[in-house]
Structure 1
């Protein structure tokens, strides 16, 4: 076996074959590219790194993109805070929201964080690290100990999932979100085609394909066309579209074509 980037190739003389390897929860956890960053954060006492909180292979792409958008600060990717590729129990979810990338607000991502005690900062960053490692258990936590975390996230998922959580108690443990790009910016802008994908996005593609095979319901919360271009197999998956691409709220009014009932049914299986 010749090992290349974690995938196995069979070599017979001059013939190299890449055999079909079934994607499993174990392969996704083992080959998660965010593990290296998570380990660095852990060694740093669950505090943000001073520079470049990013997957190492992504850094050249981020630097090139930020150079291209240096006169458009709203699109700049922020690596002074942790990336957020996934939210919730992605591998166990029944409903997965497809997002573009995490937003960025100085008031919450920077100022609210700096006002926390060191203990609160470590609590928040440990939770973010668990999400990065696909070890998160809910898209929203309501316990009082999570107040600092929710303050930094501007209570985003608390608001967007309130209606479905009222309709289906415990829904927060079965809903997850996946970002097309893991890095924060004020506004999302895709990479130019000639730049290609971030290396971490190749893993995201594998993850979404795995979830398609698990028959989860996907919600196009952002960038439907880009997601279909990114993972064409979504065309044959069960998907729900939202009336407003600027509002990820899961409600009867915001879900098209009976999508809210489909989501409720999936969450009560």
Structure 2
């Protein structure tokens, strides 16, 4: 069996039509979702967010637990609107090259202000553009849920 350095390419190529969960993890996630309350359920219909920014060159990398899930963001169409950006990101193609950490891009941040708020002190210190160019974030667990719970 051929090993790939980037398991997310399968999702980007549309080879996995059942959900946005890696094929190897689907049965584990399905089983997990049957045992937990809605706050811990993993949303398989939302594109995963394993990393953002240029993880190959960013001098600063932030490790997060997992990307959250917000009903209001889903109601506004945020997850679908930026699905293509995430599809590009997981292939290490920057969807917004002038903003490698694209969660700081103005329109994106209006839809999802979480990271802009979290990085506000750093942005105040060095500027939004410098943070977006020099910081990347990696999620320990790439799938969306309201709250994290160990599998």
**Which of the pair is proportionally richer in helix?**
1
Identify the residue that residue 97 of structure 2 maps to in structure 1.
Answer: none
Map 1:124-139 onto structure 2 (within 5 A). 124-136=82-94, 137-139=100-102
User: For 1:53 and 1:183, how far apart are their aligned partners in 2?
Assistant: 9
The number of residues matched between the two structures is 143
Q: Does 1:33 align with 2:7?
A: yes
Change (3 A) 1:160 1:139: farther
Aligned-partner SS, 2:76: helix
What's the RMSD between the two structures over aligned residues?
2.3
Name the counterpart of 1:112: 76
Moved more, 79-88 or 159-168: 159-168
Distance 1:168 1:181 in 2: 29
Q: List gaps (5 residues or longer) in structure 2.
A: 95-99
Conservation of the 8 A alpha-carbon contact between 1:161 and 1:172: no
| Deviation sequence 1:75-114 (CA, Å, 0-9, x none) | 1100111111111111111111111111111110x10117
Greater relative contact order, per chain length (Cα 8 Å cut-off, separation 6+): 2
Residues 66 and 139 in structure 2, CA contact (< 8 A), matched pair in contact too = yes
- Quote the Cα distance in structure 2 between the aligned partners of 1:185 and 1:159: 20
The answer on whether the counterparts of 1:89 and 1:139 sit within 8 Å (CA) in structure 2 is no
CA-CA distance at 1:74 after TM superposition: 0.7
Distance of 2:63 and 2:105 partners within structure 1: 23
Q: Secondary structure at the match of 1:59?
A: helix
Q: Could you tell me which of 68, 92, 105 is aligned with 2:57?
A: 92
CA deviation after TM superposition for structure 1 residue 150, in Å:
2.8
1:245-260 matches, within 5 Å, as none
Q: Is 2:104–2:115's contact at 8 Å kept on the other side of the alignment?
A: no
Report the equivalent of 2:132: 172
TM-score (norm 1): 0.49
- 1:194-237 alpha-carbon deviations (Å, 9 max, x no partner): xxxxxxxxxxxxxxxxxxxxxxxxxxxxxxxxxxxxxxxxxxxx
CA distance in 2, matches of 1:156, 1:129: 20
